[in-house]
């Protein structure tokens, strides 16, 4: 598992603050390359905060701070000369509530990231749009209505549109913050299948409060509680024989 | 017993509904009266000639307010040069960075600016742009009107931007674009319909302003396309004609008022349509 | 929609079929070792038992993992729980083949008591029952499963027949007692194999119909 320590994320003693409040108490873990890692835990345990540290979105909120080491493929994300914009391009994110840009068509939504980066070549844009929509398993459903507004799609389709939009800027990582909690079970399953296919080409970290989803979809699972990493192991082990009692209590629903 | 209470409640309901309706009608009455009055008194003077001809000198009959209509348009354009950039970017600044003490101070100043009597704006413009050049000009008038546009546009822009959900901002930032691009090309773009509406409403307001133009653009009986010369404007012309002793000019003043009301109503309608279609 | 859980189920099915094939071979070889007095074959059969045990453990672990990770419901759930029970029966069948082989080694040291006719016939039945029970499992064929349950009667009848015959041998000549007893053990083992095959078939009925017919008339 740790044969190549340069690959994937390496996080050491990561602490995140909201003002003076320490929300993450020194997290250390290695997230493997091109696998699905799930982060589970009760509300307020810091899982979303942690993931937002991985693409420097945490600092967008005013009066926040991050300390510790966070490396992606050996690259220090918080290095002094590092532009957070570049970090966010290489490490993409999809949010809980699908957020297609409201005044743009489906096509414009997918290429929005590229256009905003200055890409003007119509051919490249169209190619990337089709590729991204194919990768997001949405092409067949929207290829005849690319001009319609992004908000005209169903919830599950909108979420896949957001995934396509994130994929269009060609990131190496996809961070998914509770991507299916606002979707009905069938749409959620479609997204889960998509995640399983995407891990061939992307490193994926998924935050979910749905343990069964973590069990179905991920290769490794991390259990967070009150800002701490309690247990982190292969998913099969976590769900059949966890080492920590707190993990077991959470998984069996005996929490609280 | 219960039936009595239900009936009483329904009666009170009806009474309240009726009172509200009366209040509504009462507030519409002045508008309708003005329109009908203007039509009655100015309808006779309203003609194609009125809309396309220059005013005739004293004594001659006929003529129109074409230069005033165009002049109002030019003044609005000049006002926009001042009002739009300062208003829109001011609004963006307040929305993005206005949470601190300095921001509150700026917002307060904008509110004060919107409360200044329009004639004071005119005097300010006079001092700044007329006295030094010893010249009335369209620029001075446009400047005065622009000052009045700023707070309206800024507050509208600010409120619209503040209402943009965080999810939209974060979604854009997460794609890997700089903050300023996110604000200008995603956030502002998403509310451009509302901003346009705010601009149109601001224009509707300043179109009818007379006081600031009295000693800035002053008025001009001829065509004028030179912004450093005095220029005519609809409210000014209406003002002058209304104060004159000639009946024909009175009628023309009413006709001018009618044109002005139509333009303002038109702007309001268009802005509503924009809001409807941008949904 | 290609659901990768279905791939897992397919792999599980294949593992069970492989284990079933191994067990069928164990049964056949153990009786063959008896009939042909082949001590080496008997020893090999005994040694092979650990391979069957290893498969039992592997399948159990897979089933637990599938239950934990995929929270299956309805038929999928019944399939996986049935698989776990079936492997238990299969593993017992291999143990019984081991026991047969041990008796075969003992009997090979003495002259044969009688020509072996019924025992191989019983073994053939038992093998067939195992095969059909597993076919019923893989194809989810309740009808076939019910037939297998019925076939158990044949094995029970053959067992009675063998006992009576061996009894008569023992009453006639006390010197035959050790051999006769060993042979009656083998008959018992084969009868137990038949019972296990019936268990498998009953579990298949549960899988298909959702009805537990264990411990009742099929």
DSSP string, B22-38: HHHHHHHHHHHHHHHHH
What is the C-alpha separation between C14 and B179, in angstroms, rounded? Answer: 56
Chains that touch A (3 or more CB pairs under 8 A): B, C
Nearest CA in chain A to C64: A240
What is the C-alpha separation between C48 and C19, in angstroms, rounded? Answer: 12
B278/A contact by beta carbon, under 8 A: yes
Chain segment C127-166, per-residue pLDDT in tens:
999 999 999 998 989 999 999 999 999 999 999 999 999 9
Tokens of A234: 């292969």
Do the beta carbons of residue C134 and residue C17 sit within 8 Å? Answer: yes
pLDDT at residue number C19? 95
Please give the radius of gyration of chain A, using alpha carbons only, rounded to the nearest integer. 18
What is the C-alpha separation between B50 and A113, in angstroms, rounded? Answer: 54
Q: What residues of chain A have any CB closer than 8 angstroms to a CB in chain C?
A: 189-190, 193, 196, 212, 215-216, 235-236, 239-240
Q: Which residues of A touch B160 (CB under 8 A)?
A: none
Task: Identify from A190, A200, A220, A236 which residue to disrupt to test chain C contact, counting C C-beta atoms within 10 A and taking the largest count.
Answer: A236
Nearest CA in chain A to C2: A193
Give yes or no for residue C59 having a pLDDT over 60. yes
What is the C-alpha separation between A122 and C4, in angstroms, rounded? Answer: 37
Do the beta carbons of residue A146 and residue A198 sit within 8 Å? Answer: no
What is the C-alpha separation between B78 and B84, in angstroms, rounded? Answer: 10
What is the C-alpha separation between B232 and B210, in angstroms, rounded? Answer: 11
Q: Which residues of B touch A162 (CB under 8 A)?
A: 171
**What number of CA atoms fall less than 13 Å from residue B183's CA on the CB side?**
16
B242 contact partners, CB below 8 Å, separation of at least 6 = B250, B253
Nearest CA in chain A to C71: A212
Nearest CA in chain A to B189: A103
Please state at what angle helix A106-116 crosses helix A155-168, rounded to 10 degrees.
Answer: 30
pLDDT at residue number B279? 61
What is the C-alpha separation between B156 and B141, in angstroms, rounded? Answer: 23
Q: For residue B183, give the DSSP letter.
A: I
Contact A103 B170 (CB under 8 A): no
Average pLDDT in the C180-203 region?
94
Question: Where would I find the H helices in B43-165?
Answer: 48-52, 66-97, 101-115, 118-125, 138-162
Please state at what angle helix B192-207 crosses helix B247-277, rounded to 10 degrees.
Answer: 170
Which of A64, A69, A74, A57 minimizes the C-alpha distance to A8?
A74
Alpha carbon distances (Å) from A246 to A29, A44, A178, A249, C41: 18, 16, 22, 5, 53
CATH 1.10.3720.10 for domain B65-277, yes or no, is: yes
Tokens of B269: 């309608």
Q: In this complex, does chain C touch chain B, defined as having at least 3 beta-carbon pairs under 8 Å apart?
A: no
Contact A215 C68 (CB under 8 A): yes
A3 contact partners, CB below 8 Å, separation of at least 6 = none
In 3-state terms, what secondary structure has residue B100? coil
Pick C74 or A72 by higher pLDDT: A72
What is the C-alpha separation between A185 and A173, in angstroms, rounded? Answer: 25
B275/A contact by beta carbon, under 8 A: no
Tell me what ipTM this predicted complex has.
0.90
Average pLDDT in the B7-25 region?
94
B168/A contact by beta carbon, under 8 A: yes
Conformation bin of residue A14: beta by default, left when phi > 0, alpha when psi is -120 to 50: beta
The tens-digit pLDDT sequence of chain A (256 residues) is 445 567 899 999 999 999 999 999 999 999 999 999 999 999 889 999 999 999 999 999 989 999 999 999 999 999 999 999 999 999 999 999 999 998 889 999 999 999 999 889 999 999 999 999 999 999 999 999 999 999 899 999 999 999 999 999 999 999 999 999 989 999 998 999 999 999 999 999 999 999 899 999 999 999 999 999 999 999 999 998 899 999 999 998 887 5
| Residue percentage of chain B with pLDDT more than 90 | 43
Q: Which residues of A touch C5 (CB under 8 A)?
A: 216
Q: Where are the domains positioned within chain B?
A: 65-277
Task: Name the average pLDDT for chain B.
Answer: 89
Question: Where would I find the H helices in B213-246?
Answer: 234-243
Contact A99 B171 (CB under 8 A): yes
pLDDT at residue number C1? 36
Contact A235 C69 (CB under 8 A): yes
């Amino acid at each position: 598992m740790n044969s190549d320590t340069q690959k994937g994320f390496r996080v050491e003693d990561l602490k995140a603050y909201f003002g003076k409040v320490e929300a993450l108490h020194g997290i250390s873990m290695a997230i493997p390359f091109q696998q699905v890692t799930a982060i589970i835990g009760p509300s307020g345990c810091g899982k979303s905060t942690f993931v937002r540290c991985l693409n420097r979105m945490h600092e967008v909120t005013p009066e926040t701070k991050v300390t510790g080491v966070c490396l992606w493929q050996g690259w220090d994300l918080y290095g002094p000369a590092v532009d957070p914009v570049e970090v966010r391009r290489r490490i993409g994110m999809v949010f809980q509530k699908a957020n297609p840009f409201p005044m743009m068509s489906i096509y414009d939504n997918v290429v929005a990231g590229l256009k905003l980066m200055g890409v003007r070549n119509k051919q490249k844009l169209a190619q990337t749009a089709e590729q991204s929509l194919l990768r997001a398993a949405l092409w067949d459903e929207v290829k005849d209505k690319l001009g319609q507004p992004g908000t005209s799609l169903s919830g599950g389709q909108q979420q896949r549109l957001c995934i396509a939009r994130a994929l269009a800027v060609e990131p190496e990582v996809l961070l998914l913050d509770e991507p299916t909690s606002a979707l009905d079970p069938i749409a959620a399953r479609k997204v889960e299948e998509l995640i399983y296919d995407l891990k061939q080409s992307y490193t994926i970290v998924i935050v979910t409060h749905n343990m069964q989803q973590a069990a179905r979809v991920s290769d490794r699972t991390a259990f967070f509680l009150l800002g701490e990493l309690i247990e982190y192991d292969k998913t099969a082990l976590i769900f059949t024989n966890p080492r920590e009692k707190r993990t077991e209590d959470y998984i069996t629903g005996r929490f609280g | 017993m219960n039936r009595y209470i239900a009936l009483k409640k329904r009666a009170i309901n009806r009474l309240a509904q009726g009172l509200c309706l009366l209040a509504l009608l009462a507030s519409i009455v002045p508008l309708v009266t003005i329109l009908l009055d203007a039509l009655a008194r100015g309808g006779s003077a309203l003609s194609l000639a009125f809309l396309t001809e220059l005013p005739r000198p004293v004594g001659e009959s006929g003529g129109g307010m074409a230069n005033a209509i165009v002049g109002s348009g030019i003044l609005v354009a000049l006002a926009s040069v001042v009002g739009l950039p300062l208003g829109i970017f001011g609004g963006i600044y307040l929305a993005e960075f206005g949470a601190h003490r300095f921001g509150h101070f700026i917002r307060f100043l904008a509110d004060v600016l919107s409360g200044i009597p329009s004639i004071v704006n005119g005097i300010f413009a006079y001092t700044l742009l007329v006295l030094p050049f010893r010249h009335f000009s369209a620029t001075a008038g446009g400047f005065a009107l622009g000052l009045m546009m700023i707070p309206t546009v800024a507050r509208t822009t600010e409120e619209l931007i503040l209402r943009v959900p965080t999810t939209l901002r974060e979604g854009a930032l997460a794609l890997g674009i700089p903050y300023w691009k996110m604000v200008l090309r995603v956030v502002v773009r998403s509310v451009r319909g509302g901003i346009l509406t705010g601009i149109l409403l601001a224009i509707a307001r300043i179109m009818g302003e007379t006081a600031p133009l009295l000693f800035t653009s002053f008025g001009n009986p001829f065509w004028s396309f030179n912004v450093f010369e005095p220029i005519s404007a609809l409210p000014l012309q209406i003002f002058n004609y209304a104060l004159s002793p000639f009946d024909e000019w009175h009628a023309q003043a009413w006709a001018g008022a009618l044109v002005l009301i139509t333009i303002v109503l038109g702007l309001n309608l268009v802005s509503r349509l924009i809001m409807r279609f941008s949904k | 929609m290609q659901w990768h859980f279905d791939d897992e189920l397919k792999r599980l099915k294949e593992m069970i079929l492989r284990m079933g094939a191994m067990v069928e071979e164990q049964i056949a070889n153990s009786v063959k070792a008896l009939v042909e007095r082949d001590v080496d074959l008997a020893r090999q059969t005994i040694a092979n038992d650990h391979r069957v045990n290893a498969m039992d453990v592997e399948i159990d672990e897979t089933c637990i993992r599938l239950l934990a990770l995929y929270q299956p419901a309805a038929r999928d759930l019944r399939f996986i729980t049935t698989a776990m029970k079936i492997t238990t029966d299969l593993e017992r069948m291999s143990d019984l083949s081991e026991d047969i082989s041990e008796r075969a080694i003992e009997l090979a040291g003495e002259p044969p008591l009688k020509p072996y006719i019924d025992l191989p016939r019983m073994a053939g039945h038992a093998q067939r029952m195992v095969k059909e029970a597993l076919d019923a499992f893989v194809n989810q064929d309740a009808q076939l499963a019910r037939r297998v349950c019925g076939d158990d009667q044949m094995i029970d009848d053959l067992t009675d027949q063998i006992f009576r015959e061996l009894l008569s041998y023992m009453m006639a000549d006390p010197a035959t007692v050790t051999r006769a007893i060993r042979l009656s053990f083998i008959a018992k083992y084969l009868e137990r194999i038949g019972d296990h095959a019936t268990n498998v078939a009953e579990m298949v009925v549960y899988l298909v119909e959702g009805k537990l017919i264990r411990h009742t008339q099929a």
